Structure 1
Amino acid sequence: MSQVRDDRLDPGLLRLIGVTLLGGIMGILDSTMVTVAADTLADEFNTSLSSISWATTGYLLALTVTIPVTSWAVGRFGVRKLWLFGLVLFLVGSLASALAWNVGSLVAFRVVQGVGAGVVDPLVLVILARAAGPSRAGRVMGMMGVVLSLGPVLGPVLGGVVLESMGWRSMFYINLPIGIVAVLLALRVIPAGPPVARGSGPRLDIVGALLMAPGFAAILLALTEAGERARFAAPSVLIPLVLGVALLVGYVIHALRARRTEPLIDIRLFSSRSFAASVTVQGLVGLATFAVLFALPLYYQVLHGHGARAAGLLVAPLGLGSALAMPLAGRLSDRLGARNLVRGGAVVAALASVGLTRIGADSGEVWSVLAAFAVGLGLGGVGAPTMGSLYRTLPPEKVPQGSSVVYNLNQLGGALGVACVALILAAVGSGAAAGDGAGIGGFQGAYWFVFAVTLVILAASPLLPGRPEAPTAAQADASSADGSAMAHQ
């Protein structure tokens, strides 16, 4: 029987991708955009920076707690209803945050935003993975990766521009027109899916939710505190870290013993080498990306004297490199598989990281910009094929669970990357008193850390799937029909 491969994206699927990414980009931008307004908000509410930091920390914790429950709610309520609910909740939180009257109300409303983002963010992956089908998973995930790559980089830049030109409340008001358009388009484009009868669908694993969601949140809080304090040996770090690990160990035991209810995340998924390798590599990509995102702006500010906005613009090539590499690498992975592409991307990122370690205090910005761009290219070449391989090998009914795992590990990886770089800068680059050229040794140590992460990715690459089998004509027609049906429903 002849074998064919059809990776074409019909107009209906392209519309679905555009509408989905429009809704998802708000949460991605908001997770970093508000950080640039910390000083302004502290003055506005006459409070400390540590209190204001909870506006960001509360958002991230709420997002992290919500993501595992979202994977269950997909089967209970359907994707479309859940997507619209998440968008509306995010808009309500945005409007309320813009109207906040003190730091307490701001933190509370940011938590509402975080819950909305925790519903929407993993659904982006679920919607696109189901619509794309296995044969086009890499290509579609590559397109989604553009948003994921540019979001963390452009968030602070956009936040600085809006803050300086329109004030801090506009950083939340700006979500309203985008969100309203996203809701109206979603009503037309997001497929309704099969009807879900009241009371049908899986029962919520309440014990699992009480173990997993707080467990992830506690570890994220510990890593965030470690990054802010630049040390792990502090009660505010160790207590939530130990608690989080204990809760997750408890969840693993519970999930393996569960009989009456389906666990939020089926731990047996990790028995698949491809799944375990894919989610691990994706977490490492988040770790390396946020490590560079944390170190580079400080390098420009501390050693070159640039302001926050200029430093943010100089970091943008990192996201640009990743955004350029992801669509191409994702499309190639549908034909070539993930293994060799990830290997090549890891080598590029490793060499670029070594280049960053050679930059001194007096080096021109052009060299660090080029090196950051190359790091982005390399990590983009890793990320899209890895995501594609994950959704090619995951059973369709497990896609929501896989999306939950990917998002949570990416969050934890990013927080761990920031914490590790903060520790390295504090230990190695304590300043001119250390005699290392105004702290350049600390930044070089941070880039060596990124290099080590890329080596781990390289070592894990053989565990990823190789060239995918070409589908038969009947399979290709079925996959294309499924994707078109979802896009046009």
Structure 2
Amino acid sequence: MSTPLGTAPAATGSDRVDPAVWRIGATLVVGALAVVFDTTVVSVALGDLATAFDAPLATVQWVSTGYLLAVFVTIPLAVWAQSRFGGRRLWIGALGGFLLGSVLSALAWNATSLIVFRVVQGLAGGIMMPLMATLLMQAAKGRHPGKVMAIITVPTALGPVLGPVLGGLVLHLADWRWMFLVNIPFCVVGGWLARRNLPDDRPEPGGPRVRLDVVGLLLLCPGVTALVYGLSRVEGSAGFTGATVLVPLLGGLGLVGGFTVRSLTRPGGSLVDLRLLRHRAVASSATLLFLGGIALYGPMMLLPLYFQQVRGEDALGAGLLLIPQGAGALLARGLAGRYMDRVGPRRVAVAAFTLVAVATVPFAFVTAGTGGTPLMAALFVRGLALGAAMIAPMGAAYVGLRHEEIPDAGVITRVAQQIGGSVGIAVLAVVLQHASLGAHGPGVLTDAFDRAFWWSVALTALAVPLCLLLPGRPRPPSPTGPARTRTVAGPRRPTV
């Protein structure tokens, strides 16, 4: 009988994570760092790329937008692809695809070719991020979800903070092509480690093969992509009411809504099994990760702009000033994972989201003359809270699930977090735009940032009462073996 996640088998009685899980986690982190760093490194180089290719910034912006849209095309495919090819082969193949896209991007000769090659990177990266969580949670076999999630969040903590610093250093010391060439060591070493350390989980030769839900694919992938595209157009249009925003948003909502109805009513075989949302832990975790995406990515757009436009820092200086937040997030990983396994994700999430909101408040009072030390201290505390705020719901999402249900939960939570990030960026961009409309002088611009940070505080505070829906203190293991898991899903995907 498979072990429900979050319930350790009684026979072990150990509070230590299996060394094999640490080994698999380190293997996956090495490869994932290439994806996370690449996503954030390029964000600081759009101006340099526009100059290098003599192209308008609106065109070069698609270097980032095209990558992001490609990621959302393949995230929902991760569940089917793992069942079809096996996790190890899929991880190595996706890592190889990301390596190919990186090399081609470094060889790009104009903006159009770079956009195309970034799409290749995005297609591979979209598979890797949900697959990382799935492989590690399956390897842990239900033990210590908090500590396991602390491993998974290493790239998430490092990327948004150290990525801009790495990008600024590359542009300061070398040619823009090196932003993509630095991915090669991560991909090569990550692939070698994967062949060595990941278990061979290929399907049985000649066994039944999982059928691809083509209708679901045609509904979900374009739907999510249209939503993200519409949100990415908010900053450059008339808010949420412009046709370039409203049309893709409504179209995306229609497609995703159609997929949702279809998945909830089918007896089995959906591209992503949304019936898992009947688990309170999965539903509440997805909602909190959506709000957590807003709390993480929205201010990550505001903070560099504030340091550059109000305080006069360059791209590298703004990236360096964000290091305390990354240091706090890294430090929080071990603490949050340990306390989550001890007291449950609910208490950790309530404390973490409350502290994120409180630590964001100082930025709503900043002026051009505000001292740097208080801001660095606030960023460090905010990083501590953000690290815990992401670990708690991510770990809670897998509590009570069977081994074969883990991939679907991984995709649901990943999509929720990424769409939350897009919503956070879009909403705060609109607030900042409207608040600074016609602004002249640093004082008026500072007031615009103050208002945007207040919105960030309010959106983060919305998550605090929802944290109470997460699972509480973990139950002690049964002396006769692991507790039974209530099954909410029907038969798995039909076979041919």
For 1:184, the aligned partner's letter is: W
Contact 1:225 / 1:237 at 8 angstroms: preserved in 2? Answer: yes
For 1:183, the aligned partner's letter is: G
| The structure with more helix, counted as a fraction of residues | 1
For 2:430, the aligned partner's letter is: L
- Cα-to-partner distance string for 1:347-391 (whole Å, 9 max, x where unaligned): 211221222222223211222222122222222222112111112
2:274 alignment counterpart: 267
The change in CA–CA distance for 1:4 and 1:456 in structure 2 (over 3 A counts) is farther
- Within a 5 Å distance, the mapping from 1:308-323 to structure 2 comes to 308-323=315-330
TM-score by length of 2: 0.91
Shift in Å, 1:423: 0.9
Q: Distance in 2 between matches of 1:90 and 1:249?
A: 31
Q: Distance in 2 between matches of 1:444 and 1:274?
A: 35
Verify: 1:62 aligned to 2:70, yes or no: yes
What percent identity do the matched residue pairs reach? 39
Q: Distance in 2 between matches of 1:191 and 1:473?
A: 30
Partner of 1:437: helix, strand, or coil? helix
The change in CA–CA distance for 1:13 and 1:439 in structure 2 (over 3 A counts) is same
Verify: 1:364 aligned to 2:333, yes or no: no
Verify: 1:467 aligned to 2:477, yes or no: no
- Cα-to-partner distance string for 1:34-66 (whole Å, 9 max, x where unaligned): 122212211222211111111111111111110
Verify: 1:153 aligned to 2:154, yes or no: no
Contact 2:33 / 2:186 at 8 angstroms: preserved in 1? Answer: no
The change in CA–CA distance for 1:125 and 1:427 in structure 2 (over 3 A counts) is same
2:241 alignment counterpart: 233
1:190 alignment counterpart: 198
Structure 2 gaps, min length 5 = 1-8, 483-496
Contact 1:429 / 1:436 at 8 angstroms: preserved in 2? Answer: no
Shift in Å, 1:256: 2.7
Shift in Å, 1:312: 1.2
Q: Distance in 2 between matches of 1:18 and 1:228?
A: 40
Shift in Å, 1:463: 0.3
- Aligned with residue 219 of structure 1, among 203, 221, 227: 227
- Aligned with residue 82 of structure 1, among 87, 90, 104: 90
Verify: 1:171 aligned to 2:179, yes or no: yes
- Within a 5 Å distance, the mapping from 1:78-477 to structure 2 comes to 78-193=86-201, 195-198=203-206, 200-229=208-237, 231-259=239-267, 262-430=269-437, 432-433=439-440, 437-472=443-478, 475=481
Q: Distance in 2 between matches of 1:72 and 1:302?
A: 45
Shift in Å, 1:253: 2.0
For 1:449, the aligned partner's letter is: W
Structure 1 gaps, min length 5 = 477-489
Contact 1:317 / 1:376 at 8 angstroms: preserved in 2? Answer: yes
For 1:102, the aligned partner's letter is: N
Contact 1:431 / 1:439 at 8 angstroms: preserved in 2? Answer: no
- Cα-to-partner distance string for 1:423-476 (whole Å, 9 max, x where unaligned): 11111233644x881312221112211211222111101100001112246648
Contact 1:79 / 1:127 at 8 angstroms: preserved in 2? Answer: yes
The change in CA–CA distance for 1:432 and 1:237 in structure 2 (over 3 A counts) is closer
Contact 1:146 / 1:327 at 8 angstroms: preserved in 2? Answer: no
Superposition CA RMSD, Å: 2.0
The change in CA–CA distance for 1:432 and 1:225 in structure 2 (over 3 A counts) is closer
- Cα-to-partner distance string for 1:194-253 (whole Å, 9 max, x where unaligned): 543356232111000110011111111111111344722212111111110010011112
Contact 2:67 / 2:119 at 8 angstroms: preserved in 1? Answer: yes
Contact 2:428 / 2:456 at 8 angstroms: preserved in 1? Answer: no
Contact 1:226 / 1:419 at 8 angstroms: preserved in 2? Answer: yes
Contact 1:93 / 1:112 at 8 angstroms: preserved in 2? Answer: yes
